[in-house]
Structure 1
Amino acid sequence: MSHILITSAGRRVSLVRAFIKELKEIDERSQVFVTDAAPKLSAAAQIAHKAFEICKIDNDNYIDALYKICLENKVEVIIPTLDTELTILSKNHEKFLAANIKIVLSDEKLIKKCRNKLKTHKLFKKLGVGTAKIYSKIKYKLPLFIKPINGSNSSNNFIIKNKNQISKYQLESNILHFFEYLDHDIYDEYTCDLYYNKTGELKCAIPRKRIEIRAGEVSKGLTKKNEVKMFLDQNFSFLKGARGCITVQLFMHKETKDIKGIEINPRFGGGFPLSYLAGGNYPKWIIQEYILNEDLNYFDDWKTDLLMLRYDDEILVNDYKG
């Protein structure tokens, strides 16, 4: 009997359901738990076997609280979901491992590179991947894209087409940086779900063409076996320190097919359900690697040209006393 815990569950209903389904195939008694700062108001918490309330990630007691939950409920594997928790979990990886609790996440060095947009650009170049230009705040070319060095969820992102749109705050902020704007009329945008085994070897790569975005998360997406797929197989076949699901954001020029890297997020992305439904069974592979100690083969038999159209659904809670 092996329990899995998904942290910061929030609205990740599809991800929790996928782990419940795949874990049930292995052992009917095993369960999927979640943690959340407000589980009564979390949709994913309503469908998990158990949901635990926990303090915010920046609270000094977060690690001890998470550790206690895992010990008391015999959790064997932890699946992190938020950028902000990756660094603190990687720093405490050995503490959990000593209690036979495995956190599926990349090395601290890689996480830090992914959290910093400028360091991510250097990593892309090392992998042979082109990047958007980084401008100084004195010399730049319009249109441009402004984003924070450590941002996530499209927070504080700005598309600037006229010079008078640039604010004093954007010019003076040390957090915000100016980047080349990659126009969607010229480039197609892809979020790619990559699965890495424990030794950083690529075992699956599924590019998802982003057709429509809402609140920083894909609402319409399409799987594609195209030049992006071949590019990933060639340039990302090994990524030092990578483990589990990694999402890589790329732009491909519609005519020249030139590819540029934008971001790397060492966690499950919000659009992962499309890759899962296309056949990329990352939850099952995590179970095989981290619970059953099995080796994985490279997997390429996923469905291309699968279109996902997301919509809002409801989870109702009876007799709620909030």
Structure 2
Amino acid sequence: MNILISSAGRRVSLVRAFQKELKKIYPHGKVYASDANPILSAACHVADGYFKVPYLSEPDYFDVLIEECSARKIDLIVPTIDTELLPLAQNRSLLEGKGITPLVASEKFVGQCRDKREIHRFFESHGVSVAKEYTKQDFQLPMFIKPIDGSRSVDTYLIRDKSELTEYHFENDKLMFLEYLDHDEFDEFTCDLYYGKDHELKCIVPRKRLEVRDGEVYKALTVSNRLVPFLQEKLNKVEGAVGCLTAQFFLNNSNASIYAIEINPRFGGGYPLSYLAGANYPKWIIQEYGENKKIEKAFECWESNLLMIRYDDEILVHGYNG
């Protein structure tokens, strides 16, 4: 079995986790990486091999992807960024026809996750509260503004005073005016959820976000809290969900209220903490998609109160001439 981590970028820890787990089951298996600029991707240099792909917006993206995967006998694609999820889901049949499985949720569910209003409706249909959305004529301050299709905290605003509002906020139809959930009252958690091929929830690891840079967590703590039984009840089965999903929630410090924020149906940048805590999603993926094994529920397989403090490291490439 050979695996591709696509849009690998800085996902060094994720590549290494898949390498470690793949070698245990398939000693000759390889973990490849792809990127639009692989020579400048740290993850590509630690992978067993890498190749360059066009940007997703280019018409030959899938032609190149299939050709490169076929040449390396790659069986499974593990995506890592939001923008590639919907194209992979839409081209599932094309890829599977070439013997390549994209580890991505159904087109319908990915579409829901990519639209913040749709994912709010999804949560509400499962009995999970979300922040109230205001109209642009009737709102309360402070409030939080974010785009319906955004990622990595781009184009987000905390508005405390009317003087901070501009014409852009009112004229941009993609911007949502939302009830503000104060960090003095709420703790923010990112949950790594694992869904099997049967679309059933197998594991939940809540990670308390202690420090975030550019939308990616740098300091985090695993916490076994009320999110685990709550999500077991509310999101036990989600049609179309497979593999690792990264979901954000706010927990009130003084009462039992839980608010859902969003779901990204892919590995998040902070997943290495869950892996190191014992939630071995790469192993389960290899077992499900390589050995066709059914994954059993494992809600207590990981270590609580494990603190992760990330730091920058170096990858050296000799002979680079630009």
- Superposition TM-score tier, normalisation by shorter sequence: over 0.9
Q: Which residue of 2 aligns with 1:302?
A: 302
Q: Distance in 2 between matches of 1:291 and 1:91?
A: 22
Aligned counterpart, 1:116: 115
Compute the displacement of 1:23 (Å). Answer: 0.5
Q: Measure how far apart 1:211 and its partner are.
A: 1.1
Measured in 2, the distance between the counterparts of 1:247 and 1:126 equals: 19
* Aligned counterpart, 2:180: 181
Query: Could you tell me how far 1:22 is from its partner in structure 2?
Result: 0.5
Q: How big is each residue's C-alpha offset from its partner over 1:252-284, in whole Å with a ceiling of 9 and x where there is no partner?
A: 000102000000110000100000000010000
Paired-residue identity, %: 49
1:321 aligns with 2:321: yes
Number of the residue aligned with 2:148: 149
Give the match's secondary structure for 1:303: coil
Correspondence list, 1:269-288, <5 A: 269-288=268-287
The Cα shift of 1:160 comes to: 0.7
Whole-angstrom distance in 2 between the partners of 1:76 and 1:22: 16
Aligned to 2:58: 59
Q: Distance in 2 between matches of 1:27 and 1:136?
A: 54
Separation of aligned partners in 1, 2:257 and 2:24: 42
Deviations 1:221-268 (A, max 9, x none): 111111111111111111111000011100000010200000011000
1:160-194 alpha-carbon deviations (Å, 9 max, x no partner): 11111011111111111111111110000000000
TM-score normalised to structure 1 length: 0.98
* Whole-angstrom CA distance in 2 between matches of 1:293 and 1:228: 30
- Provide the rounded CA distance (Å) in 2 between the counterparts of 1:218 and 1:281: 19
- 1:214 alignment counterpart: 213
- Contact 2:194–2:204 (CA<8 Å) still a contact in 1? yes
Residue in 1 aligned with 2:23? 24
- Corresponding residue for 1:136? 135
1:152-231 aligned at under 5 Å gives the runs: 152-231=151-230
Structure 1 unmatched runs, 5+:
none
What aligned pairs does 1:60-139 form with structure 2 within 5 A after superposition? Answer: 60-139=59-138
Partner of 1:8: 7
Q: CA deviation at 1:285?
A: 0.4
Partner AA of 1:104 in structure 2: L
Number of residue pairs matched by the alignment: 321
Q: Which moved more, 1:26-35 or 1:268-277?
A: 26-35
Q: Where do 1:235-250 residues align within 5 Å?
A: 235-250=234-249
- The AA in structure 2 aligned to 1:41 is L
Is the contact made by 2:66 and 2:98 (CA closer than 8 Å) also made in structure 1?
no
2:292 alignment counterpart: 293
Amino acid at match of 2:216: E
On the 8 A contact 2:66/2:95 being kept in 1, the answer is yes
Could you tell me which amino acid in structure 2 is paired with residue 89 of structure 1? L
Residue 245 of structure 1 aligns with an amino acid whose one-letter code is C
Distance 1:257 1:45 in 2: 44
SS of match in other structure, 2:75: strand
Aligned-residue RMSD, C-alpha = 0.8
Q: For 2:51 and 2:143, locate their aligned partners in 1 and report how far apart those are by CA, in whole Å.
A: 43
Structure 2: runs of 5 or more not aligned: none
List, as ranges, runs of 4+ consecutive aligned residues in structure 1 with deviation greater than 3 Å: none
Greater mean deviation of Cα atoms: 189-198 or 310-319 = 310-319
SS in structure 1 at match of 2:308: strand
Aligned amino acid, residue 4 of structure 2: L
Q: TM-score, normalised by structure 2?
A: 0.98
C-alpha distance in structure 2 between counterparts of 1:12 and 1:25, whole Å: 21
For residue 99 of structure 1, report the CA deviation from its aligned partner. 2.1
Cα distance in structure 1, aligned partners of 2:313 and 2:181:
33
